[in-house]
Amino acid sequence: MLELQILLVFMIIGAIVAVKTKDLLSAVIAVGTVGLGLSVAFLILKAPDLAIAQLVVEILVVIILIRATIRKDLPFSTSGRWFFNTFVVFVFLIVFLIFGYICMKDLPKFGEPIMKVAQSFLNNGLKDTGATNLVSSIVLDYRAYDTLGEATILFTAVIGVLAVMRKVGRKK
């Protein structure tokens, strides 16, 4: 899977650019490249539904973040204990990476998943639900309560955005 590794390195470089650049609008565009690379990675990993959803969501995220940053660019402050804070964060990240590398030895190897639950979905999905796309048969039939909860979270988020952003009834 060489193409996937190249794509992941591209995504990491885009993420570092998004973290390190001073200009906020450039950072938002860089995080857009990371999301679009993720969409292509889903396509390589044989997940077309996820690729479509990720493409749409990424464009919406970039639009929302540009709305939040436009004409509000301001300089960064690097005062305070700059060296100490950076040192502590880097030590924490190195310890985190070492522990993650140790934990990954217990995972199943790449390309050979444990498909205990999914094998029954693959065998009986067409007969049980009548959907040829097994991902949508899981989302809309086997795990329909999960999708109901997702819709609840979406409406809660919409209510939250409306309550935060509304201008009527706000005291000056």
Partner 1 sequence: MSLYFLCLVLFSVGLYCILRKRNLIKIIIGIAITEYAVNLFFVLVGYKMHGRAPIHAEDQAILNMVDPLPQALVLTAIVIGLAITALIASIAIRVYEKYGTFDITKIRKLKG
- DSSP of 91-110: HHHHHHHHHHHHHGGGSPPT
Least spacing, CB of residue 169 vs partner 1, in Å: 14
Indicate whether 148 belongs to the interface with partner 1 (CB under 8 A). Answer: no
At 139, give phi and psi (nearest 5°).
-65, -40
Contact 76, 82 (CB under 8 A): no
C-alpha 94/C-alpha 65 separation (Å) is: 30
Binding residue (CB under 8 A) for partner 1 from 84, 106, 165, 169: 165
Least spacing, CB of residue 56 vs partner 1, in Å: 9
Kindly state the tokens that stand for 90: 């880097």
Q: What's the chain's Rg over C-alpha atoms? A: 22
Number of residues that bind partner 1 (CB under 8 A): 84
Indicate whether 45 belongs to the interface with partner 1 (CB under 8 A). Answer: yes
Least spacing, CB of residue 91 vs partner 1, in Å: 12
Least spacing, CB of residue 84 vs partner 1, in Å: 12
Indicate whether 124 belongs to the interface with partner 1 (CB under 8 A). Answer: no
Window 13-32: residues binding partner 1 (CB under 8 A)? 15-16, 18-19, 24, 27-28, 31
Nearest CA among 73, 39, 43 for reference residue 59:
39
Length of the chain: 172
Least spacing, CB of residue 168 vs partner 1, in Å: 14
Binding residue (CB under 8 A) for partner 1 from 81, 102, 164, 172: 164
